[in-house]
Amino acid sequence: MSAKEFLANAEGGVVPVDCHEKVLQIAFIYMDEGLWLGGNGVFDVVEKLHAHGWSFGEDELRFNRTLDIFYLAQLAAAIYRSTDQLESDFPSPDDFQSFYTTHHALLHSSVWRSYYSTTFLTQRTTARFYRLPDLQDLPDSDSPLGQPRQRPPTFATKLPRWAYSVARTHRRQPSFPLATLTKLALSTLETTITRLRTAHPTVAPYSETQARFWLEYMGLGSPGRSGSAEKVSRQASGPNMFGILAAQGWYDMYAWEEKYSAQVWEASAARREVAEPDRDGVWKSEVMWCGLPDGGVGPQAWWKGWEEEVGSEEEVEFLAAVAVEETVGVKTEVGELDFIVRSHMLLGVMRAAVELGREREAFLEELERRIVGIGRIGEGRAERWLREALGVVEPYVRIWEGVWPATEAERGEVLRRILVENGQLFARWRLSPVLKEFNFALGPRE
């Protein structure tokens, strides 16, 4: 049976789609067009699968968006590996069986367990939004697109991606004290890594040496390459693009080799103090930036699933800690909130959610007026932004039974929990245009 006949029979209900291999074969056929004809690559293909009621997951993982897109990203990696990086013919949809046999290690039904912890994958946010693996990198994603390096599987992008997010946060919010931001970044990173290692000891331990190296590499505290702090802040207001930048060769995930030997780098987690570099800096990176225009590298990285819709636990925990810190000492009356700051908006939504009836509506109307007036969100979108945020926040504040908490610590802990469990509220990552979720993006701070 040809691929065309198999797909027609599967879509028509003639062939039952009752196992992982059949879903994979259908996805492989869809990917033949999904990866090369523009659009949104894996994000379009997952919609086609779900429209027919097909998913790679079972039971509580059925229609888990992250799991389903993960297998499409694995298919994309296998397809690229089959083509000598775009220099030969792509595998035909009719060659699925030989393709699957060749790349079985990337595609089998339990391979996700090597990439995702069950705790992370079953989180509500992970089920609704595509998130990158928390145990190791997607295949070849630690290298520029088309230039995979022959290194053993690892998690080379974990700390660079986290540091990139931290540095962008400071550029977005340059008035936030750098020392406080750095402290929050390091402490939340240590917490998330320690928690993950409790269940998965193979994950690399926390190392302040490594963390600080990557913060420096990403230019934390520096004005950046683009000029004034104001200009850099405005440029940083867009979605994170770490996966695309890595694909373009903008960053080298092994840049630490310029300053540290592998022995010192890997042993640095056991040290209480930051390890001193033990190399003289004579090192040449094997990565070369492709330049701009990038010849389609950015779109291809997007199509392959190298960009997430919500960030990692270490990124979200850090952003939540910053948000809580921004609200310390802030009164929750509308006139006391600074609507330039997202966390103040959300604190205002929490305050509105505690109110009932006319008091709630009046509070929301005043919030909307102030938010539109400050210029971070358009008048036509502000009401829905507030209503969507209210829908996220309301279940968390029911514990207060209509009475705003007397202690700042209590409200801060609930705000932190809301943000940790709903990372989409930060809107730091690009959502697929076909995703049926509200985008909480705001305009740049002036």
Q: Please state which of the ranges 134-138, 279-283, 338-342, 438-442 shows the lowest mean pLDDT.
A: 279-283
Q: What is the pLDDT of residue 184?
A: 98
Do the Cβ atoms of 131 and 310 come closer than 8 Å? yes
212-242 confidence digits (pLDDT tens): 999 999 999 876 544 445 555 555 678 999 9
Q: What is the pLDDT of residue 281?
A: 74
Counting beta carbons within 10 angstroms of the beta carbon of residue 107, is it exposed (0 to 12), middle (13 to 18) or buried (19 or more)?
buried
Q: How far apart are alpha carbons 358 and 391 in whole angstroms?
A: 17
**pLDDT greater than 80 at residue 42:** yes
387-444 confidence digits (pLDDT tens): 999 999 999 999 999 999 989 999 999 999 999 999 999 999 999 999 999 999 998 8
Q: How many Cβ atoms are within 10 Å of 369's Cβ, its own excluded? A: 14
Q: Would you list the domain boundaries of the chain?
A: 3-128, 158-240+253-286, 327-426
Q: What is the pLDDT of residue 226?
A: 47
Q: What is the pLDDT of residue 149?
A: 80
The rounded mean pLDDT for the chain is: 93
Q: How confident is the model at residue 134 (pLDDT cuts 50, 70, 90)?
A: very high
CA atoms within 13 A on the CB side of 238: 5
Q: What is the pLDDT of residue 347?
A: 96
**pLDDT greater than 90 at residue 370:** yes
**Looking at the whole model, is its pTM more than 0.75?**
yes
CA distances from 7 to 23, 76, 185, 218 (A): 10, 19, 48, 46
**pLDDT greater than 90 at residue 37:** no
Do the Cβ atoms of 141 and 157 come closer than 8 Å? yes
Q: At a CB cut-off of 8 Å and minimum separation 6, what does 73 contact?
A: 42, 138, 304, 305, 306
Q: What is the mean pLDDT of residues 199-216?
A: 97
Q: What is the mean pLDDT of residues 134-153?
A: 89
* Among the listed residues 360, 369, 362, the one whose alpha carbon sits nearest the alpha carbon of residue 337: 369
Counting beta carbons within 10 angstroms of the beta carbon of residue 89, is it exposed (0 to 12), middle (13 to 18) or buried (19 or more)?
exposed
Q: What is the pLDDT of residue 85?
A: 54
φ/ψ of 132, rounded to 5, equals -70, 160
Q: How many Cβ atoms are within 10 Å of 14's Cβ, its own excluded? A: 10
267-302 confidence digits (pLDDT tens): 999 988 999 999 987 888 989 999 999 999 999 999
Q: How far apart are alpha carbons 239 and 427 in whole angstroms?
A: 7
